[in-house]
Amino acid sequence: MHFSQFFLAAAAIAPTLAQLSGSVGPLTSHATKTAKKTCNVLSYGAKADKSTDLGPPLLAAFKACKTGGTVVIPSGNYAMKTWVTFEGGKAWALQLDGVIYRTGTAAGNMLFIRNANDFEMFSSTGKGAMQGLGYQDHKNGKRNGARLLRVEKSTNFSVHDIILVDAPMFHFVMNTCTNGEAYNMAIRGGDWGGLDGVDVTGTNIWVHDIMVTNKDECVTVKSPSKNILIENIYCNWSGGCAIGSLGTGTAISSVVYKNIYTWKSNQMMMVKSNGGSGYVEDVVFENFIGHSNAWSLDIDQKWASMSTIAGNGVHLSNMTFNNWKGTVANGAARGPVKVVCADKTPCTDITITDLSMWTETGSRNTYQCASGYGKGFCLKKGTGASYAATTSTQTAVPTAHAAAKMKEDLKTAFGISSSIPIPTMPASFYPGTPPISKLAT
């Protein structure tokens, strides 16, 4: 379904939940760009020999096509020793059908698209990939190397049908972007914190049909952001999805997470901060399925893994959690519901409905709330002052907690000391739900 059709249909059904404020993606098709001009990196000195540095030929090809055309990296294996910044550019595309292997050691961003308009990065086969070989750094205790892909201050763009593997640092960052779309992607990283999957900051961004393996952010919204729609996400042995970490002057609103499947992760969804100021408002988290995760619904505004920063706390308001199913690893130790809000800025209008989860260990769940107001579980009604943590216990097995699993669920995590294989794209990213846009083949 084209975005415009999706947006109109979603708006007709539930205008308050569509969230996106307008069209997303490139203004012209890559076919149109290719017909205008094609800049094949092989014509600029690149070689698919897994040895010759792709960086200079790729930059030369971009300069030739940046005002309209398609830069093509054909099938084959390429080495990349020097990173490329694609500055500016309008009505251009990057077709990655080969596999790029990191051979350089610099930090920064291997591929950095900045100040672009009407841009598209894609694989025509669904096999185009970046292999960051991050384990070469990680096994020596280093995780401050290169990000694989960063799109910054760009508008009217899409990134799709590509695979990102084993980043030395982050895998994919969209920073201060507008009218963007990312979809049909597989991201596979090491089992270590600080190796984020997808980080989003911007306005009017649609992220869907993405699988992430790592031990940190799956798909995370950060400040400032507005009108963000995230759906059909497969956190396959990951840190899990999140909003935050939140700091001073936080401004996040009109966000929807829907159809989120989480397996063997730190959490199904976390909103995390410790101090700070600003707001997160008008957010919906619906249709979540989880199995074997440490935490499930986790609002933590006293997050111990983050140093306390100045401010009375970020105000969380009008947040709805609806239709959550599955199991939690240990419901007594880390129950399915944790809402710990800032004492000086209590949460308001938090609504938890149709949440039915059970423990895989033992025979009870605990629920914890502090300074949180709204509806459901241990939340207090209305509004008011801060209150100390309260807990409640459930010993009856909920009748509707059973939920489907995905056949690609990993049996073991990838470590940090050996190469991570390039995966194939899954046929689906949420149980029983086909990708919104057909996978490239």
Give the residue numbers marked as catalytic.
216, 291
Helix-strand-coil percent breakdown of the chain, rounded to 5? 10, 45, 45
Nearest to 73 by CA among 50, 54, 99, 96: 96
Helix and strand totals (H; E) in the chain = 4, 27
Nearest to 278 by CA among 317, 318, 313: 313
Nearest to 264 by CA among 232, 294, 299: 294
Residue 180 neighbours by CB under 8 Å, 6+ apart: 24, 25, 151, 154, 155, 156, 157, 158, 159, 174, 202, 204, 205, 206
For tokens 């960051």, the residue is: 132
Reduced to 3 states, what is the DSSP secondary structure of residue 55?
helix
Q: What is the DSSP string of 264-277?
A: SSS-SEEEEEBB--
Nearest to 117 by CA among 149, 99, 92, 142: 92
37 phi and psi, to 5 degrees? Answer: -165, 140
Distance of CA 387 to the CA centre of its chain: 33
d(CA 275, CA 309): 5
Between the alpha carbon of residue 324 and those of residues 132, 327, 357, 360, the distances in Å are 35, 10, 7, 16
Residue 258 neighbours by CB under 8 Å, 6+ apart: 229, 230, 231, 284, 285, 286, 287
42: DSSP letter: G
